Every structure is written in C-alpha cells, then in structure tokens.
Chain A
Amino acid sequence: MKHAHLKSLLCLLVGSVGLLWLQGCKPKGTQSAVSGNAAEKVYVAPGKYDEFYNFVSGGFSGQMSVYGIPSGRLLRVIPVFSVDPEKGYGYSEETKPMLNTSNGFIPWDDLHHIAISTTKSEHDGRWVFANGNNTPRIARVDTKTFKTVEILEIPNSAGNHSSPFITENTEYVVAGTRFSVPIGENQDVPINTYKQNFKGTVSFIGVDKVSGKMNIAFQILTPGINFDLARAGKGNSAGWFFFSCYNSEKANTLLEINASQKDKDFIMCVNWKKAEEYARAGKGVKKTVKYAHNTYDEKTHTATSVMENEVLMLDPKDCPDMIYFMPCPKSPHGCDTDPTGEYIVGSGKLAATIPVFSFAKIQAAIAAKNYDGQYDGIPVLKYEAVLHGEVQKPGLGPLHTEFDGKGNAYTSFFVSSEIVKWSIKDLKVLDRVPTYYSVGHLSIPGGPTSKPWGKYMIAYNKITKDRYLPTGPELSQSAQLFDISGDKMKLLLDFPMIGEPHYAEAIPASMLMKKSQKIYKIEENGNAYAAKGDNFARVERKGKEIHVYATSIRSHFTPDNIEGVKLGDIVYFHITNLEQDWDVPHGFAIKGANNAELLIMPGETQTLKWIPEKVGVFPMYCTDFCSALHQEMQGYVRVSAAGSNVPISFSTGKTTPDSVTTKTSN
C-alpha cells in the first residue's frame, strides 16, 4: 500500500517534470514574444497623434494605405490604381482619366512598392511614388492632399516590379521589367524564341523638381532577364543604381525550376550619370510606342489623359561603361544600399548567405577590368573582387534589408520566418526574432535613406493563419511592429492590413501634418463646371446632354427639384461643395445610377454621369452625414418619356414647380 502510494507520487513528479520540459521546448508563442510594457509603447491616447506616418503598398487591392505608428491605426486608404466607389475615384468624370492606359480604362492593378521623395538621400516628404505591376505604371501621390495626382504608363515593359525607386534628389524614379517581353515592331513571335526575341528595359523617369511632374527621360534596353528590385546609391555611389536580377537562365516556362539552375544570378549596376550623358549626347534611339500619361489638376479637380508616342532608348552596345553585372547568389530579390551608400546588400532568396558588396571595390574592379567574362556583351565583375563579405548562416530565404543608421542591418527571412539583425561592418549576426508568419518586406522609418530615424521596425507578413479571429478561408494580412531602440528587437503589436502589403515607408508625422491641406479654396476652384454660388446653380440642355450645375452646403442641394429630363438623355451632375470647413465633404448619389457616389471635398466640384433607364421620379441625396439635417439633404429628378414635352425646370424651396403651370397651359 505504502509502496503503491510512493509509486504514484513518483509518477506524478516525473510527469510534471516532463510537462515542464515539454513547455520549455514549445516554440515561442505570442505571450512569450511580447514583453511587459509593449501596450504602453503602442498606446496613443485619444486625441493624441502617432509619431510616424506609414505609407504601405496595398498589393492586389491596387491602393496605398496610410497607418499611424506606433498605434497601428489605419488613417487613410488612398486610391491609386483601383477604382474606389467610396471616394468616387475612377467613377467621377473628373477622375476617370487617371486610370486610362494604352489598353483603355483599367480599374485595377497590383501596387507593390513605395518611394517617398528625397533630397540628398533624406526624406523631403513631398511625394509618394508607387508602382502598378500588372499594367506597368508609376503613380505619384501628393502628401498635401493624400491624392493620386499623376499616373504614367511605362511602355516596353511587363510586370513592372523593379519600381519605383528613386535617386538621391528624386532626379529620377526608375521602373524595371520583371517580365521580359518582345519589344519593337514584331511582337507576334513564338514564346519559345525567348532567348532571341525577349528583352528587358529599365526606365529612368525624370521628375520635375518643383511640380513633381514625371516624364520618361530614357529607357535602357537590357538582356531578357527578370528585374526584381532596385536601389539607388547614396553618397559616393549616388550616381549609380543597382538592380537585382534573376532568370539569367532566360527560361520562358516553369521558372520555379528553370530559373533556379545557376549558382549565381546578377545585380546590375547602372552608372545613371553616364546614361544621362549618353541620352543628352544623342546616343539613344527614339522608339515609337504608345503610353498614357495622366495628371490630376488640383485647381480644376480634373484629370486629363494624354497619349504619348515616343521614348528614348539607350542600347548598352552603343553606350560603353554604362552597365555592369555583378554575380549574386541564387535569384537575388532585395537589393538594398546602406545609409552611407558604400554597401549593397543582395538577398538571394534561395541562398544560405547574404552577400554584401562594396562600392569602392566595384569601382576598383571596373577600373582594373577585373571581369569574369561577359553576359550578352555586358561585362560581369568578378564576385570576389567586389565582395565586402558574406553574412554566414543568417537564416533561410533572405528577402529584404532595412537599416537603422547605427551600423546595423535588418534582413527578413521568408522561409525561416524571422528577422535577423546584423552588423554591416563585421557581418556578425546580433539578434533574431520570429515573425508570425513568413515575413516579406520590412520598414524602418527612413530605412532606405541616408538618415534613418530608426526606433521602430514594421514587418509585413505574408501569412496570418491563427493570429486573428478566424474570418473564413481568407484572413487580413498582418503587420508586426517591433521596438528596435535597444540591442534586442522587441515585438510590440500585430495589426491587420488592406490587400497584401509589400514595401512600405515611414516618415515622421511632423514632416507632413502641418502641410496637410484642409479645404480647396472655393475662390480658386477652376473646374469648368463649377457653380460658384447659388446664382450659378442651373440646369442646361445641350442636345441629348443635360448638365446640372448644383451646389451643396449643409444641408441642401441647389437646385433640388429638377424636371425635363427624358429617356435617352445623358445627365451630368456637376456638384460644387460650397463648404469651406475642414472635413465637411458632401456626398451625392441618385437612384439607379450604375456607377458610384461622388464624395465632394469642401470647395471642390465633381461630376457624376447618369443615364436614366426608366420613366419616373428619382431621389438624390447626400451620402456623407453632414449635419443634424443631413437626412433632409435630398431632392428629386423627374424623368419623362422620350417624346415628352416637359420643359427643363429646376428650383429649390419652391412648392409649385413651373412644370405644373406648363402642363395646364398645354
């Protein structure tokens, strides 16, 4: 009896030790990853502001999101490449031209990367650039209005992934092709003639220093490989641009296997100052090709789309010393230059090391013609000659690297789902943290510039799984915020994203918040269809077109009773918001309209096109709660049969419309 008792006690003891051991071995869960005062560090009290704006790519949503850091609060979704019915973007007559391309109107794209404008490689925060991957385009967002003000289509390109990255003073935005394609007149070629007929390009888009307006200064014709990511140099290397490339095998099918054959692919080094000289010296050839150039005018609140016809192409064979290839292990993805510009970090996504290249060594190798042969006539620099060193055994599948300005680099690892902090100088691993799960891009405020602000790091994860309450098969993609102010990286917060976040940049709120525009001055409203005051509110017929010039103010439209519209007419509602008060937009919607609402900012004019399909009386109303009498902000449009003789009439506050008397007189 006693013995049995002892036995069971022993069992219990062994059991609990085992349990303890088991718990110790369990992979670190959420609880253990978060330290004590994490909540305090991300808490932004009601009425207080975040320290940073984080501009995040929306991936397949086609939009750009703006988050506050450290709170992780979503502040704004800026429509860029996709229509946004909520804001009327791509639906109003004024904004439709923004989405025009040489393939016609396209309501969607895949937005991957963000570049905040810089001066001397430091953020100046004037514009945010973004790329459209699918139908190659570059967009520019104005940080005063948080609106997309320009979209430029990139010709001779496909899969515009290696974009948009900028030179130190935002002289150029670059856009590189992910998919090489046949370029030129004969594009109807067998796909398996890839090696003969397919080419890549990298475009250098000039940016006007004052207006920000873009134009393609020149394109460089390259071998038919895939360009993945890019970075400009800084400091000594500021005149150079670095592009990671894969598929140097030039495979056109099953790239998963066929583009992973070679031990090394390349980083392409472009001497863009030299390219610029060649372009000025007339070394380029003008190629005829159509591409759309869309701009949004903040004074007329109207976009225009112009079809451009020509691009200047530089062929490396006519432009010696302009580009060089640098071997880089295993399909490099990220290609990041450190804040000094001396080091270029290549991340072979199938590699087990991180090679770090030295700009000084690149220059020396070029000067000494220390080549390892050529690739399609372009010199390949010797790997050992340009290498600063390799980070050994950092993790599996390195993707992207950001910098804190204190000599440290932070690299994301997709396969091993972690972030590794390492020292640039001696290439030693300093710290590692797990991410939940499978991290893609990283963002440190100012991380890609010569002056990182550091303090935080945000990881944009590809897989969410059990991080949030389940919402069916699809979950919002997840971001994770880390405190990087100390030696160890500390997880602070998870927060959900829109679409799929790829690259993002963060900038101190103080640099943008005071410049943020609050209203459009009604005196400066240059929209051709504006009704600047109720005296200009009217309805006009021009053949089959009916133009309604209406005003809105809390809480009525002028006019709000409209008659004389007939089936077969096309009605344009030009609504001018007469408000001059911050954050008082008025909405506009009419029953049966097959597009979207308008959301009209104070002082702005926007136009909704409506083709009535039925005879009857159609209510219209304000969709954005504007005052206690918002529910009263409504009106009616009467639609008569095609042959009817109801005359055009319009009024506000009239109880006996003219049409009644007209009818009796008939």
Chain B
Amino acid sequence: MKIFKQLAVLLMASLFIISCSEGTKKEPKPVDVGELTKDVPEVHGSELKESDITLGTPLDQSMVSTGKATYELKCQSCHKLTAEKLVGPGWKDVTKRRQPLWIMNMITNVEMMLETDAEAQKMLELCMVRMPNQNISTDDARKLLEYMRSNDGEK
C-alpha cells in the first residue's frame, strides 16, 4: 500500500516536471496567500498508551533497518550498542530492562518523562544530561524499538 502511495507521488512529480519542461507559458495560478500563511505549529510527540504499541515476532527487518538509520543519525552520539555508558546508557538489553511503552515515551516525550517518571528521573541523576528531544515521530520511535530488540538478540 505504502509503495503504491510512493509510486503515485513519484508519478505525479514526474508529470509535474514534464509539464514544466514543455515550456507552455500558461498564466500562473493565483497564489493562495491564506494557505501560505496558515499556522503550521511543530508537534513534538504526545503521550503514548499501552494500546498504541504492538510487538510482533519475527522482527520486521525493514523496520529494523530504518531504526538503525535513525539510531546512527540521532542517537549514536550518546548511546553505544554495548552495555557501556557514554553520555547515556548503552543499549544492550534495554528491551529486557524496560517496558516498550517506557522506551517509546522516553524517545518521543522525554520532557514529560523527566517530569513525571521516577525511573527516568533516576537516569537523569546518573547521567546528569537531560536526554534531548530528537524530534522523532511515533512511527520512527517504533522502528527504533524494533532495532533495539534486534540488538538484544530477538529474531
């Protein structure tokens, strides 16, 4: 389904390019300034519930590989894949120590967790650096979780 969507977008994009390159000078469409100036607030996650997360076996390998890419871009600077603590704790066995919901909320809602969750607060006392909000969507956080499970040896 998703591939279809992507294909459709690609098709539309190429049509657009073709129509542009034909060089037919049409009167440009009037610009909708209202649309251009509408408010687009940035959303940085909202609290997840147990029911929002489902884990499956075997692991979804495409999710694992997207999760790995996100890890390398946004997490690796502070978290090793071993048990060794760098800025934050190493990820080895994190899926055995923590509930999936806890991990996901820590990724997407770190401000809330550091305010309300005793375990998260303990981590802050240990690391002394507030884990940054890395602007990771719920979907990407779920893929990171899949990558963590893979890192912990799940198949």
Contact = CB atoms under 8 A, between A and B. Distances in A.
B129 A628 contact: yes
Contact of B135 (A514, A554, A558, A581): A581
B22 interface: no
A535 B87 contact: no
How would you classify the secondary structure of chain A's contact residues: helix, strand, loop or mixed? loop
B33 A124 contact: yes
B73 A209 contact: no
A558 B72 CA distance: 13
A517 B42 contact: yes
Interface stretch (A392-400, A518-526, A617-625): A518-526
Interface in A138-166: none
B23 interface: no
Interface in A514-564: 514-515, 517-519, 521-523, 532-535, 551, 553-556, 558
Interface in B110-155: 128-130, 132-136
Contacts of A69: none
B37 A555 contact: no
A556 to B, nearest CB: 7
Contacts of A579: 132, 134
A562 B87 CA distance: 21
A558 B77 contact: yes
A125 to B, nearest CB: 7
A580 B74 contact: yes
B128 A535 contact: no
A544 B40 CA distance: 46
B42 A518 contact: yes
Given A210-B36, A534-B77, A556-B77, A629 B132 contact: no
Contacts of A511: 37
B83 interface: no
Contacts of A518: 42, 44
A514 to B, nearest CB: 4
Among B72, B86, B135, residue most surrounded by chain A Cβ atoms (within 10 Å): B135
A627 B130 contact: yes
B132 A124 contact: no
Contacts of B76: 533-535
Interface residues of B, number: 25
B140 to A, nearest CB: 10
Interface in A575-598: 578-582, 584
Contacts of A554: 78, 87, 129-130, 132
Interface string B73-117: 110111000000011000000000000000000000000000000
A263 B57 CA distance: 91
A24 to B, nearest CB: 53
A553 B72 CA distance: 13
A210 B133 CA distance: 31
A309 interface: no
B129 A555 contact: yes
From B77, B133, B136, name the one whose CB has the most chain A CB atoms within 10 angstroms. B77
Contacts of A519: 42, 135
Interface in A340-383: none
Contact of B78 (A553, A580, A581): A553
Interface in B19-68: 31, 33, 36-37, 39-42, 44
Interface in A628-662: 628-629, 653
A485 interface: no
B33 A119 contact: yes
A252 B33 CA distance: 46
Contacts of A581: 132-135
B72 A533 contact: yes
A578 B129 contact: no
Given A578-B77, A628-B129, A534 B72 contact: yes
B128 A514 contact: no
A66 B42 CA distance: 22
Nearest to B136: A580
A441 interface: no
A330 interface: no
B129 A627 contact: yes
A534 B73 CA distance: 7
A144 B135 CA distance: 18
Contact of A124 (B37, B77, B130, B136): B37
Across chains A and B, which 5 residue pairs bring their CB atoms closest together, nearest first? Answer: A580-B135, A514-B39, A209-B31, A553-B77, A533-B72
Interface of A: 119, 124-126, 169, 209-210, 511, 514-515, 517-519, 521-523, 532-535, 551, 553-556, 558, 578-582, 584, 627-629, 653
9 contacts: A125-B37, A514-B40, A514-B41, A533-B72, A533-B76, A553-B87, A578-B73, A581-B133, A628-B128
Given A535-B76, A554-B132, A578-B73, 20 more contacts: A119-B33, A126-B33, A126-B36, A210-B31, A511-B37, A515-B39, A519-B42, A519-B135, A522-B74, A522-B135, A533-B72, A533-B76, A534-B77, A551-B77, A554-B129, A580-B74, A581-B132, A581-B133, A582-B133, A629-B87
